[in-house]
């Protein structure tokens, strides 16, 4: 549904690390009521969209145009200082701000609707305690006709059926906690669940979705495209540190890890892993490509020259470079994320436990569309990987999208 266009580089600076590392070392016992609320803020990644001081101004690119997040500090003129507790609950659970203002689902209220009233009340206590900041924001910069707020009435009617999380007595407490977090506060589906042309969820939850030049992978237990080959501990490690033996978080996921999952407690991360491991496998990525011999041959030669130095000729990577063999990111139905990675390069998530994100160089200036397509088709169909071929046209589309966004 959204991608955050502004990477907050400041969060990768050494000083921020020291603070993050300190926070990780000295986990305080829950004391003030605001601690519980602050933890809800972490679970919901409010800072990821509303900024570190919650004063808004973060630009979100959506398929319908641009939104700039509002100021949600207690400032009375430019923030939400005039909200009552009930106003806040309505915004979070029904997507309705005071004076009947219908919110756009770029604010993930369809997920927050599943949060318990107690968790929302705790969050509200914390929201009241943060420093008010004066910052007025022009939020709605969507294209016509999406900029017309009343259209959200139709959207809500068609696509939004608010329902609090219902405990499933047939499952364990950990599974239920995981399901509650994934579908609620942590809004994993906002990125990982396929969307219809109106940006609403469609089809099976968490089976993967394209977002603004990235692909948020399949999180089901499918062995080809999903997390079928990951253990629960692998999932916890990835969410906590942004990396594991299979993969390395970049782009929007690196941000979600830095702001949110790396700051979740171990019990909650385990619960999320229990829930994800128990998701029924999706229908996968449609299997391997056929008729790609020419692409495979050219791709193999180009790979050895451009990529093998870091990712290994065997695709197994090394301590600092992620493997491409058996890496689910590589095997998704759509290749958006990996095309983008090759063209634009990237930097892995940096977290308190693993503070330096290694870098991947940009190849946009070195590889033509068809060369990049050949290499990626090879990577997607070698070392046991199986996934549809990548066409030069796909690379070309993503290349022009990258041009227009920079």
Which of positions 159-188 make contact with ligand HEC (CB under 6 A)? 182, 186-188
Report the distance separating Cα 193 and Cα 221, nearest Å: 14
Tell me: does residue 390 bind ligand HEC (CB under 6 A): no
Cβ nearer to ligand HEC, comparing 133 with 342: 342
Residue 193: burial class (beta carbons within 10 Å; 0-12, 13-18, 19+): buried
How would you classify residue 291: left for phi > 0, otherwise alpha for psi between -120 and 50, otherwise beta? left
Distance spanning both ends of the chain, measured CA to CA:
20
Cβ nearer to ligand HEC, comparing 333 with 338: 338
Cβ nearer to ligand HEC, comparing 26 with 187: 187
What track of x and - describes contact with ligand HEC for positions 354 through 383 (by CB under 6 A)? ----xxxx-x-----------x---x----
Minimum CB distance to ligand HEC, residue 250 (Å): 3
- Extract the tokens encoding 273: 């892993």
Taking alpha carbons only, the member of 320, 210, 357, 186 closest to residue 259 is 186
Which residues are CB-contacts of 46 (< 8 A; sequence separation ≥ 6)? 54, 72
Number of residues that bind ligand HEC (CB under 6 A): 72
Stretch that binds ligand HEC, among 5-13, 281-289, 328-336, 394-402 (CB under 6 A): 328-336
- Extract the tokens encoding 204: 């099976």
Cβ nearer to ligand HEC, comparing 22 with 282: 282
Tell me: does residue 104 bind ligand HEC (CB under 6 A): yes
Query: Of 57, 284, 322, 388, which lies in the binding site for ligand HEC, with binding defined by CB under 6 A?
Result: 322
**What is the length of the chain?**
406
Cβ nearer to ligand HEC, comparing 29 with 73: 73
What track of x and - describes contact with ligand HEC for positions 60 through 79 (by CB under 6 A)? x------x-xx-x-------
Report the distance separating Cα 299 and Cα 376, nearest Å: 7
Provide Rg for the chain, Cα atoms: 21
- Extract the tokens encoding 307: 């990529």
Tell me: does residue 253 bind ligand HEC (CB under 6 A): yes
Cβ nearer to ligand HEC, comparing 1 with 25: 1
Q: Which of residues 13-42 bind ligand HEC (CB under 6 A)?
A: none
Tell me: does residue 252 bind ligand HEC (CB under 6 A): yes
Which residues are CB-contacts of 15 (< 8 A; sequence separation ≥ 6)? none
Is 328:247 a contact under the CB 8 Å cutoff? Answer: yes
Cβ nearer to ligand HEC, comparing 169 with 249: 249
Q: Which of residues 338-357 bind ligand HEC (CB under 6 A)?
A: 338, 341-342, 346-348
């Amino acid at each position: 549904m959204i991608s955050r266009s502004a990477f907050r580089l400041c969060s990768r600076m050494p000083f921020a690390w020291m603070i993050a590392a300190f926070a990780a070392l000295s986990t305080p016992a829950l004391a003030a009521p605001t601690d519980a609320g602050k933890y809800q803020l972490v679970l919901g990644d409010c800072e990821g969209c509303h900024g570190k001081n919650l004063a808004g101004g973060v630009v979100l690119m959506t398929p319908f145009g641009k939104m700039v997040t509002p100021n949600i500090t207690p400032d009375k003129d430019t923030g939400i200082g005039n909200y009552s507790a009930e106003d806040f609950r309505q915004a979070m659970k029904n997507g309705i701000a005071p004076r009947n203002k219908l919110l756009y689902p770029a604010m993930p209220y369809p997920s927050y609707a599943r949060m318990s009233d107690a968790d929302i009340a705790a969050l509200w206590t914390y929201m009241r305690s943060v420093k008010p900041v004066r910052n007025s924001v022009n939020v709605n910069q969507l294209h016509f006709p999406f900029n017309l707020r009343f259209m959200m009435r139709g959207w809500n009617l068609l696509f939004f059926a608010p329902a609090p999380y219902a405990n499933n007595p047939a499952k364990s407490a950990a599974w239920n906690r995981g399901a509650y977090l994934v579908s609620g506060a942590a809004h994993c589906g906002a990125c990982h669940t396929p969307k219809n042309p109106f940006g609403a969820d469609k089809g099976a939850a968490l089976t993967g979705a394209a977002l603004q030049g990235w692909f948020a992978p399949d999180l089901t237990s499918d062995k080809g495209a999903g997390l079928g080959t990951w253990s629960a501990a692998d999932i916890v490690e990835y969410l906590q540190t942004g990396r594991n033996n299979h993969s390395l978080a970049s782009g929007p996921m690196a941000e979600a890890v830095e702001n949110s999952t790396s700051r979740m407690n171990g019990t909650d991360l385990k619960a999320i892993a229990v829930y994800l491991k128990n998701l029924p496998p999706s229908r996968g990525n449609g299997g391997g490509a056929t008729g790609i011999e020419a692409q495979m041959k050219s791709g193999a030669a180009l790979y050895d020259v451009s990529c093998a130095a870091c990712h290994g000729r065997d695709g197994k990577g090394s301590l600092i470079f992620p493997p491409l063999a058996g890496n689910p990111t590589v095997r998704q139905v759509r290749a958006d994320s990996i095309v983008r990675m090759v063209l634009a390069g990237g930097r892995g998530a940096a977290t308190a436990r693993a503070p330096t994100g290694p870098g991947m160089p940009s190849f946009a200036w070195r590889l033509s569309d068809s060369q990049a397509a050949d290499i990626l088709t090879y990577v997607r169909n070698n070392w046991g990987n199986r996934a549809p071929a990548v066409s030069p046209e796909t690379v070309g589309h993503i290349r022009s999208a990258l041009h227009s966004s920079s």
